[in-house]
Amino acid sequence: MKKIIYSLVLGTLLLAGCSDSGSSTSSGGGGTGTLSTEEVQTLVYMREEEKLARDVYRTLYDRWNLSIFNNISESEQTHMDTLAAMLATYGVADPVTSDTTGSFTNPVLASLYDQLVARGSISSAEAIQVGIFIEETDIADLQKAISESTHDDLIRAYENLLQGSYNHLQAFSAQAG
């Protein structure tokens, strides 16, 4: 009996010693624990990156009236909603303070929006290349986010978005010929 109690106490102490108040080692998934500083930064960035994609695609749809931009912008809205839910789950402030097209909290993404819209306004073919660039960038960023996360629910969300981005890339690539 003493061995069992000793083992339970030792196990509890070991588990308690593994937790770090600055980050979560939880992989329990259901929004349990807290996100590390890096996970918060990545989640916040990914939320706005999905808005960038949606906003660029909406703008290029208005410019070229190509249905691919309308269809994929709707999917990007779903991606944004998924990440907004993750922000809420973990009590992280949403960087999307305005749903206005082209409005970003992150100045790098604001500048990138302007650059991509300018490039995509040159021709419809160039607009398709902008779509390819956005999806390739999103894929790389999502892969990095997945590799750095310790939360199963967040990893699942990123993996679902990654699959969507692969589908978008395939659609844009098919349009490019």
What is the tens place of the pLDDT at every residue in 123-151? Answer: 999 999 999 999 999 999 999 999 999 99
Confidence bin at 160 (pLDDT 50/70/90):
very high
What is the tens place of the pLDDT at every residue in 55-82? Answer: 999 999 999 999 999 999 999 999 999 9
- Residue 150 φ/ψ, nearest 5 degrees: -115, 10
Q: Give me the number of domains the chain comprises.
A: 1
Residues 6+ apart with CB under 8 A from 57: 69, 70, 72, 73, 76, 131, 134
What pLDDT, on the 0 to 100 scale, is given for residue 32? 62
The reported pTM is 0.83
Mean pLDDT of the chain: 86
What pLDDT, on the 0 to 100 scale, is given for residue 31? 52
Q: Is 93 helix (H, G, I), strand (E, B) or coil?
A: coil
What pLDDT, on the 0 to 100 scale, is given for residue 29? 46
Domain that holds residue 162: 2-176
CATH number, domain containing residue 148: 1.20.1260.10
